[in-house]
Amino acid sequence: MLRYSVSMSADGFVAGPDQSEQHPLGIRGELLHAWMRELAIWREQAGLAGGVVNASTAVIERGDDNIGAIIMGRNMFGGQPGPWREPMWNGWWGENPPFHLPVVVLTHYARSPLACEGGTSFEFVTGGIGAALDRAGDAASGKDVVISGGAGVAKQYLAAGLLDELLIHLVPEFLGDGTRLFDDPALTAVKLEQTRAVEAPGVTHLYYRIARAG
């Protein structure tokens, strides 16, 4: 199964404008994740104390179940667009990234695999979304594959009918500008079936199954 979850503003943005190394989520994009950063489960994973337990806690716990590999785009991995530059960019996360799983990075520019501490490895695939999904599926060893960040990558899988489950964390904020997930005319061929909704402080979690329209 291929899954994607993302926080989205009330006006449909999944990142703010002017994304950069200083603002990886764009201007005001951090508002999309405020609901998660106050959770005890998130803070524990980040090495922080305190936090709360609410209806979002079970959503985060379920989201971590049965994951075998991750797909992300070049923007999520970072390092600026275009050919890789020296000194080589190794991600936002330091020597021990938080994934602890095989990660497939979808990119136009070839690069050798990168092994990190804590069980995270990055493999860079240039053959498109199908090749990246095949490689991630092999690495997942029968478990689910998830897309991490990257509206552009998720949109391609959604439009191609390759995504199985979509989870929208709908946040009552207006960003006014930025990156949208649902702005591709090809998405008219996709049918969403809502399977569940969970209300929580500062966010509503909306679960969808996905199929191609007949």
Comparing CA positions, the residue from 55, 29, 28, 27 lying closest to residue 41 is: 55
- Note the pLDDT tens digit of each residue in 90-135: 988 888 998 999 999 999 999 999 999 999 999 999 999 999 999 9
- Domain ranges across the chain: 1-15+24-66+145-214, 67-81+90-142
Q: Which pLDDT band holds residue 213 (cuts at 50, 70, 90)?
A: low
**Share above pLDDT 70 across residues of the chain, in percent, rounded to a whole number:** 98
Mean pLDDT of the chain: 92
> What is the pLDDT, as a whole number, of residue 212?
66
Tokens of 102: 């095989």
What mean pLDDT is predicted for residues 162-176? 96
Q: Is the pLDDT of residue 139 over 80?
A: yes
**Choice between 186 and 23, residue whose per-residue pLDDT is larger:** 186
- Note the pLDDT tens digit of each residue in 57-84: 999 998 888 999 999 998 889 877 889 9
> What is the pLDDT, as a whole number, of residue 150?
73
Q: Is the pLDDT of residue 214 over 60?
A: no
pTM for the model: 0.88
Classified as helix, coil or strand, 24 is coil
Phi first, then psi, for residue 6 (nearest 5°) are -155, 145
> What is the pLDDT, as a whole number, of residue 186?
87
Q: Which pLDDT band holds residue 171 (cuts at 50, 70, 90)?
A: very high
What mean pLDDT is predicted for residues 130-144? 96
> What is the pLDDT, as a whole number, of residue 64?
83
> What is the pLDDT, as a whole number, of residue 66?
93
Tokens of 118: 């804590």
Among 18-22, 90-94, 162-166, whose mean pLDDT is lowest? 18-22
> What is the pLDDT, as a whole number, of residue 98?
86
In CATH, the number for domain 1-15+24-66+145-214 is: 3.40.430.10
Q: Exposed e or buried b for every residue in 124-160, given b needs 16+ CB within 10 A?
A: bbeeebeebbebbbebbeeebbbbbbbbebbbbbbbb
Tokens of 141: 């060893």
> What is the pLDDT, as a whole number, of residue 1?
93
Comparing CA positions, the residue from 73, 27, 36 lying closest to residue 57 is: 36
